[in-house]
Amino acid sequence: MPTLSVVMPNYNHGHYLKTALDAHLGQSEPPCEVIVVDDGSTDDSCAIVQDVAAGHAAVRLVRMARNGGVNAAINRGLREARGDFVCFSAADDLVYRHFASRSLAILAEHPTAGVCFSDPAEMVGDGGVVQRLPLQLRDRPSLLLPADLERRLTHSWFSFPGHAVLYRREALLALGGFDEGLRWYADWFTTCVLAFRHGACYVPEVLAVFRVSPGSYHARGLRLTAVQRELVFRIVDLLQSAECRDVAPAFRRSALMPELRARVLVWLLASPRHRGYLTPRLAVRLLVRGLWWWLRSRVPGWVRPAARRLAFGWSRLASRGLRAGG
């Protein structure tokens, strides 16, 4: 069985750390190491990790010399890791008992896959209510080749759940780790590149849960319009570079963009250097998903599931029409 290193970037999440560490240490297939990279916390995080490490040789604390941000902490942990695979587990996320074993089992069958992911799930704050969001890509654990992923993403867009992804360490190191300049989109971009380059294994069940918080890194970032625009442009610039020449066509054909709102359509159209990435399929996706984002905060909760199905179903029909039309 391949081995797994867990890298847990942490900044002032001491109140979640013990639960998160216990969940990884209690896995049916325990990781070979759990590396907590503390990014300059000012709470009792380091003391908590050291207390757990005293009873578990697999736990190790790495302290950053200064607060450098989550991607700097992730890359530091990646350089420290020794497992065949590595996952980056936030201190406030949850993992279930078979998170490692189910993922490593399918990866052992497909040694060339770059990543493995499972179905996403989320929990708002500390409420304890978990919303499962099944992707329904396959009915059993299997390998999705790059061409399979492209077809799936073209037909019905989905996002790789960063909280439930395992990366082949050598493939990730060859990529240079996470691009720190991409900020909250670094994991999305990295996962897409490795999946299109090497294929991805998929486990059709919820193995980890993402904790949603209005003050999270990503949620705060979405409100920074100028920064969001620059990140969109940076992604397109990277896809136009020599380093991404092999995967750029798949990104464009799949109409991939980490933010699907109408404002992204405006940004791309207004930039001569970046508008070439825009396709009819991406334009439709941005408009339809943008409409959904606008509606979701303005309609009663009981209406949202039906509105979502209608909007996304129309998007899929439009995509099929575009594909049929060449």
- Which of 186, 218, 250 corresponds to the end of one domain? 218
Same domain, 16 and 111: yes
Same domain, 190 and 315: no
Same domain, 229 and 211: no
Same domain, 157 and 268: no
Same domain, 196 and 157: yes
Its domain, for residue 232, covers: 224-324
Same domain, 233 and 205: no
Same domain, 53 and 198: yes
Please return the burial class of 48, using the count of CB atoms within 10 Å of its CB with bins 0-12, 13-18 and 19+.
Answer: buried
Same domain, 211 and 256: no
Q: Helix H segments across 271-303?
A: 280-296
pLDDT at 113: 98
pTM for the whole structure: 0.89
Same domain, 214 and 229: no
pLDDT at 126: 79
Same domain, 76 and 24: yes
Count the residues in the chain. Answer: 326
Helix, strand, or coil (residue 74): helix
Quick count: other Cβ atoms within 10 Å of Cβ 171?
18
Kind and range of the H or E element at 88?
A: strand 85-88
Nearest Cα neighbor of 288 from 268, 308, 271 is 308
Say how many domains are in the chain. Answer: 2
For residue 199, the domain's CATH number is 3.90.550.10
pLDDT at 326: 46
- Which of 218, 250, 269 corresponds to the end of one domain? 218
pLDDT at 240: 96
- Which of 188, 218, 248 corresponds to the end of one domain? 218
- β-bridge pairing 121-124 and 130-132: antiparallel
Same domain, 207 and 288: no
- Mean pLDDT for each 10-residue chunk of the chain (326 residues)? 96 95 96 97 97 97 94 98 97 95 98 96 84 93 97 88 96 97 96 98 97 68 85 98 97 95 96 97 90 65 52 52 50
Same domain, 120 and 245: no
Quick count: other Cβ atoms within 10 Å of Cβ 129?
8
pLDDT at 119: 97
The span from the CA of 108 to the CA of 67, in Å, is 36
